[in-house]
Structure 1
Amino acid sequence: MIPYLHFTPGDTLFFKEWVPKSSGAVGGACVGLFVLAILQRCISAMRGVMDQHWKQRSDALVAARFVRMRDSMSADKESEQDASLTAQSSLPRAPRPTMPPFIWSHELARGGMQILQSFFGYALMLAVMSFNAAFIISILLGLGVGEVLFGRFAHGMAHE
């Protein structure tokens, strides 16, 4: 491994057997890294879309639970509680932050997507650590193209 930025072939890519030595092999590796970088951005976008979907589903579950709780209370108790609440405080209530419910299917899918996104991210990092400029340029271009294609779906994502 050459410890500085270079374009020379012969760098190991991920495994001992994957050593592109010809210019065609380096070009093929660059295409593969380009696609891998696009996939990394695609997975990030899928996480953004799925997070929105899971939030809508959990909000619906919480709302349904609240409706069931409210319906189970008698109308008399509800009116008594409302009267006592207005008598206790005339200050407006600050909304309390709610934690989304733990739903196994959502959490397992979220964990699986995190594993997959981390795998692609670490694979790209290992390729960059070869200091091969062709690999680095391919990865940067792939991340840019992936962001152009999928970035609008991943808005608001804090975990990149």
Structure 2
Amino acid sequence: MDMNHGSMDHSGMGGGMGGMHSSSSSMSMAMTFTNTHDTPLFSNLWTPASDGSYAGTCIFLIILAIIDRCLFAFRAIMERRWLAAHLNRRYITVAGKTPEAGRIDSDPEAKHASLVTAQGVEESVKVVERTTSVIMPWRFSVDLPRALIFLCITGVSYLLMLGVMTMNVGYFCSVLAGAFLGELAVGRFIQYNDHIH
């Protein structure tokens, strides 16, 4: 009885493995690197038919990887600008300071004085810049462009990932070369002290 039960389990496993083998053979995803020049990129419509079109596809991947790094650099630059604009827009009233316009009105001798000083138009406010870390409030004019930039970065990054997932050596090396060239060109603009990579 135990022998029959064991043989049934074994045959069931064999049938399951055979089913798994047939389903995995229907999948066309390569598990090892190849160096063929007719590997499709993104769809079957983009299949290089010659060495020249394969080289063009590799050049496209290099440019796409450079664009990816440029988008990261652009995002880092914009983040710094948005933060600087937010920090520079903090105004406070200075206690005891008379505005220039009020001083001119109260002093008849100062009627010909200019309202523009070396620091600009002098009023009873002062710009205070805060240098510590701060979370900016939600603003449509900042958060919409930020989300659009992130959308572009995500799209380009996933396209590069799909190129690498073809397991084609040329495509893989092209993505690496583009990432290297992009980092070499604009890496200094990217801020590494936060989640931007």
The TM tier, using the shorter chain, reads: 0.7 to 0.9
Change (3 A) 1:30 1:58: same
TM-score between both structures, scaled by the size of structure 1:
0.77
Per the TM alignment, residue 97 of structure 1 is displaced from its structure 2 partner at its CA by 6.1
Match of 1:86 in 2: none
The residue correspondences of 1:57-136 to structure 2 (distance < 5 A) are 57-61=85-89, 63-64=90-91, 67=92, 70=93, 98-136=134-172
Mean Cα displacement is larger for which, 18-27 or 130-139? 18-27
Q: Is 2:35–2:170's contact at 8 Å kept on the other side of the alignment?
A: yes
Change (3 A) 1:59 1:109: same
Aligned counterpart for 1:21 among listed residues 41, 45, 49: 49
| Runs of 4+ with >6 A deviation | none
Change (3 A) 1:147 1:115: same
Change (3 A) 1:98 1:141: closer
Larger radius of gyration: 2
Aligned counterpart for 2:175 among listed residues 139, 149, 152: 139
Partner of 2:45, secondary structure, is: coil
Gaps of at least 5 residues in structure 1 are: 76-95
Comparing both structures, which one devotes a greater share of its residues to helix? 1
Match of 2:7 in 1: none
Q: Is 1:58–1:101's contact at 8 Å kept on the other side of the alignment?
A: no
Query: In 1, distance between residues paired with 2:142 and 2:72?
Result: 16
- State yes or no: 1:54 paired with 2:82: yes
Identity of aligned residues (%): 29
Aligned residues: 134
Q: Is 1:44–1:154's contact at 8 Å kept on the other side of the alignment?
A: yes
Change (3 A) 1:100 1:22: same
Match of 2:186 in 1: 150
The root-mean-square deviation of aligned C-alpha atoms, in Å, is 2.0
TM-score between both structures, scaled by the size of structure 2:
0.63
